[in-house]
Amino acid sequence: MKNFSFIIVAGGKGSRFGTKKQFMKLGDKSLWQWSADSAAELKDSGVNEIILVIPKDSDKNEILWNSPLPFKIIHGGDTRSESVLNGLNTASCEYVLIHDAARPFADKNLFLRLMNATDENSGAIPVLPVADALKKIDGENISIVNRDGLFVTQTPQSFPREKLIEAVKLNLSAKDEAESWLSAGHKLKSVEGNKMNFKITWTEDMATARALAEKNFPRSQTRTGLGYDVHQLVPERKLILGGIEIKDSPLGLLGHSDADLLTHAVMDSILGAAGLDDIGNIFPASDEKFRIADSIELLKEVLKLVKNSGWRVDFVDAVVEAQVPRLNKYREEIKKNFEKFFDINIKFKSAENLNDSGRGLSMTCWACATLSRE
Using CB under 5 A, list all residues that contact Mg ion.
12
How crowded is residue 50: how many other Cβ atoms within 10 Å of its Cβ?
26
List the single partner that 90 binds among ligand CTP, Mg ion, none, CB under 5 to 8 Å by kind: none
List the single partner that 13 binds among Mg ion, ligand CTP, none, CB under 5 to 8 Å by kind: ligand CTP
CB proximity list for 352: less than 8 A, separation 6 or greater: 358
Name the 3-class secondary structure at 305. Answer: helix
CB proximity list for 109: less than 8 A, separation 6 or greater: none
Q: How far is the CB of 5 from ligand CTP (least distance, A)?
A: 15
Give percent helix, percent strand, percent coil of the chain, each to the nearest 5: 30, 30, 40
List the single partner that 102 binds among ligand CTP, Mg ion, none, CB under 5 to 8 Å by kind: ligand CTP
Which positions touch ligand CTP (CB under 6 A)? 9-17, 22, 53, 76-80, 83, 100-102, 199, 201
List the single partner that 66 binds among Mg ion, ligand CTP, none, CB under 5 to 8 Å by kind: none
* Cβ–Cβ < 8 Å for 248, 325: yes
Q: How far is the CB of 200 from ligand CTP (least distance, A)?
A: 7
- Please say which residue, 78 or 192, places its beta carbon nearer to ligand CTP: 78
- Please say which residue, 40 or 253, places its beta carbon nearer to ligand CTP: 40
Q: Which residue is nearest to Mg ion (CB)?
A: 12
- Please say which residue, 12 or 27, places its beta carbon nearer to Mg ion: 12
Q: Which residue is nearest to ligand CTP (CB)?
A: 12
Q: Give the phi and the psi of residue 306 in degrees, each rounded to 5.
A: -65, -40
- Please say which residue, 190 or 201, places its beta carbon nearer to ligand CTP: 201
Q: Give the phi and the psi of residue 3 in degrees, each rounded to 5.
A: -105, 135
Name the 3-class secondary structure at 122. Answer: strand
- Please say which residue, 103 or 264, places its beta carbon nearer to ligand CTP: 103
CB proximity list for 288: less than 8 A, separation 6 or greater: none
Q: Give Dmax (Cα) for the chain.
A: 75
Q: How far is the CB of 134 from Mg ion (least distance, A)?
A: 22
- Please say which residue, 181 or 283, places its beta carbon nearer to ligand CTP: 181
List the single partner that 242 binds among ligand CTP, Mg ion, none, CB under 5 to 8 Å by kind: none
Q: How far is the CB of 11 from Mg ion (least distance, A)?
A: 10
- Please say which residue, 12 or 123, places its beta carbon nearer to Mg ion: 12
Q: How far is the CB of 14 from Mg ion (least distance, A)?
A: 8
List the single partner that 171 binds among Mg ion, ligand CTP, none, CB under 5 to 8 Å by kind: none
What gap in Å lies between CA 174 and CA 79, rounded to an integer? 9
Q: What is the DSSP string of 57-102?
A: TS-GGG-----SS-EEEEE--SSHHHHHHHHHHH--SSEEEEEETT
Q: How far is the CB of 308 from ligand CTP (least distance, A)?
A: 31
Q: In terms of Cα–Cα distance, which of 50, 48, 54 is closest to 74?
A: 54
CB proximity list for 192: less than 8 A, separation 6 or greater: 113, 126, 127, 128
List the single partner that 186 binds among Mg ion, ligand CTP, none, CB under 5 to 8 Å by kind: none
Q: How far is the CB of 204 from Mg ion (least distance, A)?
A: 17
